[in-house]
């Protein structure tokens, strides 16, 4: 009931400002549209007014070619308006998304989409998967600076045909800015007091970014870097009666320091051909706690990770733009080090491990539009991943070592996706992909613990999707889609220290269905959307209680999504979204006397109810004020408290209210400020073990030359 009261009060507040929504003009009438066109011919889309909300799914502009897919987006303007500190902050307002993590600002964050975890969501930056392949729990590094992001698209549900393996619950497609026009230098610096409510008043968090971009003749470029440093990441010492006075001392304030460099450039060879090069490098060092365990803080454990990306490719239009061809090659190097020297007076500890991987990918995509009512997207994808690891663990006086250098994982996929437009504003699509995977397994005999003969496994998995989208003459739209996707076990899951040495992991399979209704009002400047989704995942791979990967779960989610978006009216705009997962179940499949049974297990850290809203006001493109509200409902979690450990609790719901304001002093300088968690809600916790900051003020300066 607390949520519904909050929902009602918030929209009463919106209603009181209704007079400012009555006019269609305003200083921000030409702000970029939230959604793209659906089922329109190119010449029709070009005539659409720039300041209208338009139906999703243009054949030329969408994140994918699939207009029937449930999708949401956030652009650079919206990211800047609410002064997002991280990429994770930028995506929190999307429908069906819940972002959490172990630790405060700067730590890796987990992206839950419709109740499914980060490992099921394919995270792309400029078309390259950037999830940490070495993360045991599939965390994506959404703590990256959002300064260089042009747009973020989220496609929900399995996306097997156009994106392939890994997109079991959706795709988060992040696109960076491309240089154009005269040379431009932009820089941003900000500082914050992480959790001022804990009587700390000296800034302990700093963020800095710089970028140079532009174009000349046929050449374009954009490059720069970012730096982030914070002191104040720590395990929660208490949580509303669950962990009161557990420890003799408060956990210390751990730190995170990270930096990145990037470059994106290329040349428009002619009006139909473009060559592009992308370089990106990231490195981060984080002090971490030992938890969960007994929840004690570890004063000297560090994670050091980094990655280096190289991508190059061409984009060509042939036969008077009937055929579009994209070909690119990418290479990603990743490393993760975990170092934990033994603590004085303790037998456990003295851990050192390092994992390194190299991923190579080739993508060839062709989009052919021979007539306006038919489009074909087809292509080939090739990928290879090499890995190596070394582990040293002296625990209770016992030395343990498990090094590996397996054969590379090889994948080769072929796909085709057909789009039909038999009548105006009706789109039907269907497609399939054949995923071919070749990978090595190395197991031990259960009785003797002796290594078995290494095997090279072959997996051929057909996947598909089919959907329909239609908009009626009264601006009422319908869309529905069904898909099946699969994902083979990763190299890390099979050979890391979390690997199951006695049992072969099976590929994961996901099925998804969603349908939605969209209604537009006030000359397409207001969009109300409501939809239903069902998703099922079989043979889900996760860590069991002993910290070993296994095909543990069968996950089934049913839910409703409602969103309400407006374009600016007299400078005021609103984005809001509500998600209710009314049936969220996980089953562990167990076998007894030759029969298989489903044993229900709790779904942890995932709320059934979530709501977010961003109310924004912009005056004359000089003053911008943003109010952001996030509500997260109750959710199950595990507590690791000695001597009773672990046990389940119900984490309380919480409300976060953020306020951001920026003022453009002149065409070169903008000052901004932000207050996170204005309500100082101490009950807000990503998980019970890790709290978050209370009131956190930010202040900063942006320079554009």
Asked if 246 contacts 273 with a C-beta cutoff of 8 angstroms, the reply is: no
Cβ-based neighbour number of residue 613 at 10 Å: 21
Domains and CATH numbers, the chain: 2-704 (2.40.170.20)
499-523 burial code (b ≥16 CB/10 A, e <16) = bbbeeebebbbbbbbbbbebebeee
Q: With 60 as the cut, is the pLDDT of residue 625 above it?
A: yes
Identify the residue with better confidence: 288 or 669: 669
CA distances from 348 to 252, 395, 447 (A): 20, 5, 29
Contacts of 231 (CB under 8 A, 6+ apart): 194, 204, 205, 253, 254, 255
Q: With 70 as the cut, is the pLDDT of residue 41 above it?
A: no
Using a 10 angstrom Cβ sphere, with 0-12 exposed, 13-18 middle and 19 or more buried, the burial of residue 400 is: exposed
Residue 546's pLDDT is 75
* Average pLDDT along the chain: 81
Q: With 50 as the cut, is the pLDDT of residue 61 above it?
A: no
pLDDT digits (tens, 9 = 90+) for 101-113: 655 566 667 788 9
Asked if 375 contacts 399 with a C-beta cutoff of 8 angstroms, the reply is: no
Residue 380's pLDDT is 97
Strand pairing class (374-395; 351-371): antiparallel
Identify the residue with better confidence: 618 or 694: 618
Q: What angle do CA 196, 198, 203 make, to 5 degrees?
A: 40
Least confidently predicted of 60-64, 199-203, 492-496: 60-64
Q: What are phi and psi of 201, to 5 degrees?
A: -125, 5
User: Counting runs of H as helices and runs of E as strands, what totals does the chain give?
Assistant: 6, 33
Residue 50's pLDDT is 33
Residue 571's pLDDT is 93
Identify the residue with better confidence: 545 or 509: 509
108-138 burial code (b ≥16 CB/10 A, e <16) = bbbbbbbbbbbbbbbbbbbbbbbbbbbbbeb
Q: With 90 as the cut, is the pLDDT of residue 20 above it?
A: no
Residue 348's pLDDT is 54
Alpha-carbon dihedral sign for residues 382, 323, 69, 468 = negative
Give the pair of three-digit tokens for residue 151: 């747009």
Contacts of 417 (CB under 8 A, 6+ apart): 65, 66, 161, 162, 376, 377, 378, 429, 430, 431, 465
Residue 294's pLDDT is 42
Taking residues 204-211, report their average pLDDT: 90
pLDDT digits (tens, 9 = 90+) for 651-674: 778 888 999 999 999 999 999 999
Residue 445's pLDDT is 85
Q: With 90 as the cut, is the pLDDT of residue 360 above it?
A: yes
Give the pair of three-digit tokens for residue 173: 């497609």
Residue 206 and residue 62: Cα distance in Å, rounded? 36
């Amino acid at each position: 009931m607390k949520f519904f009261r909050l929902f009602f009060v918030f929209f009463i507040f919106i209603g009181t400002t209704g007079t400012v929504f009555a006019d269609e003009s305003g200083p921000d009438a030409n702000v970029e549209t939230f959604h793209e066109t659906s089922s329109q011919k190119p010449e029709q889309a070009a005539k659409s007014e720039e300041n209208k909300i338009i139906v999703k799914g243009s054949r030329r502009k969408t994140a994918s070619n699939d207009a029937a897919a449930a999708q949401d987006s956030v652009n650079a303007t919206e990211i800047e308006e609410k002064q997002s500190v991280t990429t994770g902050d930028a995506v929190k307002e999307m429908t069906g998304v819940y972002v959490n993590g172990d630790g405060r600002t700067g730590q890796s964050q987990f992206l839950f989409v419709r109740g499914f975890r980060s490992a099921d969501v394919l995270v792309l930056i400029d078309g390259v998967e950037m999830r940490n392949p070495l993360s045991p729990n599939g965390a994506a590094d959404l703590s990256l600076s959002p300064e260089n992001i042009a747009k973020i698209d989220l496609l929900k549900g399995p996306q097997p045909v156009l994106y392939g393996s890994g997109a079991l619950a959706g795709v988060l497609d992040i696109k960076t800015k491309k240089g154009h026009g005269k040379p431009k230098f932009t820089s941003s610096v900000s500082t914050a007091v992480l959790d001022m409510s804990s009587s700390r008043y000296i800034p302990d968090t700093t963020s800095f970014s710089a970028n140079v971009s532009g174009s000349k003749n046929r050449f374009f470029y954009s490059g720069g870097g970012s730096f982030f440093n914070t002191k104040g990441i720590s395990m929660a010492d208490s949580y509303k009666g669950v962990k009161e006075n557990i420890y003799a001392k408060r956990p210390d304030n751990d730190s995170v320091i990270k930096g990145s460099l990037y470059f994106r450039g290329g040349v428009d060879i002619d009006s139909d051909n473009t060559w592009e090069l992308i370089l990106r490098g990231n490195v981060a060092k984080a002090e971490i706690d030992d938890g969960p365990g007994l929840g004690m803080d570890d004063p000297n454990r560090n994670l050091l990770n980094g990655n280096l990306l190289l991508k190059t490719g061409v984009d060509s239009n042939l036969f008077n733009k009937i055929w579009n061809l994209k070909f690119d090659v990418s290479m990603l190097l990743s490393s993760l080090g975990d170092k934990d020297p033994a603590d004085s007076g303790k037998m456990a500890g003295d851990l050192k491990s390092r994992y390194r991987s190299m991923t190579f990918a080739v993508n060839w995509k062709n989009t052919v539009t021979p007539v306006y009512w038919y489009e074909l997207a087809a292509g080939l994808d090739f990928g290879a991943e090499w890995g190596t690891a070394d582990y040293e663990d002296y625990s209770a006086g016992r030395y343990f070592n498990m090094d590996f250098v397996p054969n590379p994982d090889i994948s080769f996929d072929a796909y085709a996706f057909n789009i039909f437009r038999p009548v105006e504003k009706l789109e039907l699509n269907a497609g399939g992909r054949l995923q071919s995977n070749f990978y090595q397994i190395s197991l031990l005999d259960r009785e003797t613990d002796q290594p078995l003969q290494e095997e090279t496994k072959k997996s051929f998995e057909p996947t598909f999707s089919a959907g329909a989208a239609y908009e009626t003459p009264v601006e009422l739209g319908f869309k529905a889609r069904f898909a099946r996707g699969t994902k083979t076990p990763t190299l890390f899951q099979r050979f890391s220290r979390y690997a199951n040495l006695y049992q072969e992991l099976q590929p994961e399979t996901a099925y998804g269905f969603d349908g939605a209704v969209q209604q537009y009002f006030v000359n397409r400047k207001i969009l109300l959307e409501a939809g239903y989704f069902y998703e099922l995942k079989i043979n889900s791979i996760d860590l069991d209680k002993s910290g070993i990967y296994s095909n543990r779960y069968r996950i089934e989610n049913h839910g409703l999504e409602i969103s309400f978006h407006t374009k600016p009216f007299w400078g005021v705009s609103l984005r809001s979204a509500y998600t209710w997962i009314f049936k969220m179940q996980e089953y562990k499949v167990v076998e007894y006397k030759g029969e298989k049974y489903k044993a229900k297990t709790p779904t942890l850290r995932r709320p059934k109810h979530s709501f977010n809203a961003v109310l924004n006001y912009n005056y004359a493109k000089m003053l911008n004020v943003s109010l952001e509200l996030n509500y997260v409902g109750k959710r199950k979690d595990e507590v690791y408290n000695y001597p009773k450990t672990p046990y389940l609790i119900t984490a309380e719901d919480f409300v976060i209210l953020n306020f951001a304001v920026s003022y453009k002093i002149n065409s070169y300088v903008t000052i901004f400020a932000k207050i996170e968690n204005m309500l100082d809600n101490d009950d807000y916790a990503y998980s019970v073990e890790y709290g978050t900051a209370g009131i956190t003020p930010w202040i900063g300066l942006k320079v554009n030359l």
